[in-house]
Structure 1
């Protein structure tokens, strides 16, 4: 594990990593990663896939596997962005039809900063 995390920027010692895993092996609590925040996932979805770092691409993929609605939304967001950047406005009616067919849940208006 230490050899894998050093290239990612970890500056701690091998012994520290070893001690951490030894403690977790004997702990009754399972090791679980904290899920990414909605803001972080939003950022992953809104970035162009080709500039998203591989680690974040994998993390997004892990999130999307567990949420088909978010996966569909990601597809729509990215196709809309492509339509805009390539100036293909004639595709808008088909894009709108595809969004309507997926019948995705409406966004929550409870997020901070939202005004109606």
Structure 2
């Protein structure tokens, strides 16, 4: 541990090692990561932040709590995500809390959320309709996705008649 990696690299290079310094560095450090340090990808952390807290496993909930408490920006981000998630259940009174949420996010120093709020304001009427009305085009989108899947599966195999039968009977 007291010998610098560069010194080791120079010694083994003289003995005929043909690899690079980065390879030696990886070899020396493998398995030496701190056990208490979290090894989690940004994508997995994002998924944990976006998952309903009731659906998280206990160990993931504890890990998320530790990670969000690690810095003030993560604490703010987690709080804003939780507050926005409450608005996703359509209700008549969601328009005013949305405006309040956008104001809160704009006052925070979270540039990616600022971009998100700009998108919400760009499609303001559609967002308000989506958060306040009980209607959804989800079933239509589901049928569309299923039709595209069947068409992709059948590409080059048969004509329109068989595609039509598979869609109508499936």
> TM-score per shorter chain, which class?
0.5 to 0.7
> Is it true that 1:98 corresponds to 2:96 in the alignment?
no
Which residue in the other structure is 1:54 paired with? 58
State the alpha-carbon separation in 2 of the partners of residues 43 and 105 from structure 1.
Answer: 19
Which residue in the other structure is 1:74 paired with? 78
TM-score, normalized by length of structure 1?
A: 0.59
Question: Which SS does the other structure have where 2:49 is aligned?
Answer: helix
State the alpha-carbon separation in 1 of the partners of residues 33 and 59 from structure 2.
Answer: 23
Q: Which runs of 5+ in 1 are unaligned?
A: 1-28, 108-116
Q: Which consecutive aligned stretches of 4+ in structure 1 deviate over 3 angstroms post-superposition?
A: none
1:14-25 paired onto structure 2 within 5 Å: none
Cα pair distance change 1:52/1:99, threshold 3 Å: same
Cα pair distance change 1:70/1:31, threshold 3 Å: closer
Higher RCO (Cα < 8 Å, 6 or more apart): 1
Question: Is 29-38 or 86-95 further displaced after alignment?
Answer: 29-38
Question: Which SS does the other structure have where 1:106 is aligned?
Answer: helix
Query: How far did residue 37 of structure 1 move?
Result: 0.5
TM-score, normalized by length of structure 2?
A: 0.42
Which residue in the other structure is 2:89 paired with? 85
Q: Which runs of 5+ in 2 are unaligned?
A: 1-31, 114-170
Q: Deviations over 1:4-51 (max 9, x none)?
A: xxxxxxxxxxxxxxxxxxxxxxxxx57424521101101110001111
